[in-house]
Structure 1
């Protein structure tokens, strides 16, 4: 068996599976879309070392077929990751309207098809290593997230217990729908109202020093880090493969950015947590809001 790494790309129809496969192809993965289940043995016996396979609702009759497929891969010892793509129903409706394509489930209405697919695929989402909500992100951001995830795992070169995505956001632009845990830091004094800090962001030392020196920040963070060091092993024990932690402030520029960067660094260096893969994103920066 020659295959060293296989990435399964799955998720809701219209959420960006084809785009994700194209990104992986540019990263030198051999890509196959809608591989018929049952061909996995012959596929893994090829000379292809890096393989990305697109699997969606058209490929399997029920989720049992999917789990049978991935269990076979696991038994061979091949390194495998599952990327699950999703988007808000309204966005998928809009994408289908523009493309004028039919949904594979062909329910009475398009919305019913989307909701039914979402329900069917939920057990697969629960075991995914990377979950990306494409509702608000452009293709270039999708590419960044996939590359960051794969490169981080390659760098670690170990079996990862859980993939943790930590993101900042601004409440004024809406909450991120892919959050597992969400923390609101708007109770901390806002650097935006300090004239010399207004145009800066959480990457700047002056902002970090201001935010982290607040009494509220010290008390909050002294509880946040131990809480996550307790929760993350519980999620791993439960079998959760992906965790999204979101921290929000008013505009997603100062306070949330500061805490996300600090939290990511401290979790990476935690003596309690082992074999975790952490990647960071700052939604409002990526969307051009600052």
Structure 2
């Protein structure tokens, strides 16, 4: 089977901490048309893809979402070598890592009354600490990291659908622009980070404060500033150079985070503008605004 055909098979490995939302994420992928499998042994991944790839003639857009975590004994030990082998064979493989704070995970386990996979031998907090240590290498290897601490079930499903919706070209790098507010924390999945808090703030304009960076009045206010024009010109040079380098390295997913204080005005307008710019260069682009709905 040729590499070009294998590249048409989109496979997402869902992994991360216990209680972080992997089952919810899997259902969201299934809603998108992915074939879902929970707790597939990592050693079976190459054979699984080889068998499924034989269906390529009847379905040109095979999509799989596979949950793998500490429940499978050999996962942590073998994941890196197997994932690298699968990518080298030409398959389109993305690793999604979900995590959450200890406080949130303890609350979730309390609500569901389900034991942590490591909890029968350890108190819950110790089990969480051990799992973080065990999974640290997996997180480092991941293409996408999502902290679900502030997500309910519906928000997480929406996040998955937004990030992993239909792709036009799996062979091309996907660029994800995220606007955010520094007061709510930096997106942990960011590969590149732009801080635009130096720009004049529409928040202090009474007529603009209740609006967002998606509104024309706020957008025009931000973009007409001389500082913004210089910043966008420099960002264009920087990203035009850098994005092809990431693709050449083998990345399939690049997250560019753009932050202001609250994540409602400047970062939103700038993310929209850079997103349009990157799209014009021919890259597939997603634009999302993490903190847009939080109070102004």
Which residue number corresponds to residue 212 of structure 2?
Answer: 201
Residue deviations 1:146-201, cap 9 Å, x none? Answer: 2233335x22x24134x433211223444434434333322222222223323222
SS at match of 2:190: coil
Aligned pairs for 1:1-290 within 5 A:
4-40=9-45, 43-44=48-49, 45-46=51-52, 49-61=62-74, 63-74=76-87, 77-106=90-119, 108-152=122-166, 154-155=167-168, 157-161=169-173, 163-270=174-281, 276-285=283-292, 287-289=293-295
Alpha-carbon distance in structure 2 between the residues aligned to 1:238 and 1:30: 28
Alpha-carbon distance in structure 2 between the residues aligned to 1:166 and 1:69: 30
Alpha-carbon distance in structure 1 between the residues aligned to 2:137 and 2:250: 12
Relative to structure 1, the CA distance from residue 74 to residue 249 in structure 2 (aligned partners, 3 Å threshold; closer, same or farther) is: closer
The answer to whether the 8 Å contact 1:133/1:177 transfers is yes
The answer to whether the 8 Å contact 1:86/1:134 transfers is yes
User: For this pair of structures, how many residues does the alignment match?
Assistant: 282
RMSD between aligned residues: 3.0
Offset, 1:75: 5.4
Offset, 1:240: 4.7
Residue deviations 1:184-234, cap 9 Å, x none? Answer: 322222222223323222112221111111122222223333233344444
Structure 1 unaligned runs (5+)?
none
Structure 2 unaligned runs (5+)?
none
Relative to structure 1, the CA distance from residue 263 to residue 171 in structure 2 (aligned partners, 3 Å threshold; closer, same or farther) is: same
Relative to structure 1, the CA distance from residue 42 to residue 250 in structure 2 (aligned partners, 3 Å threshold; closer, same or farther) is: closer
SS at match of 1:151: coil
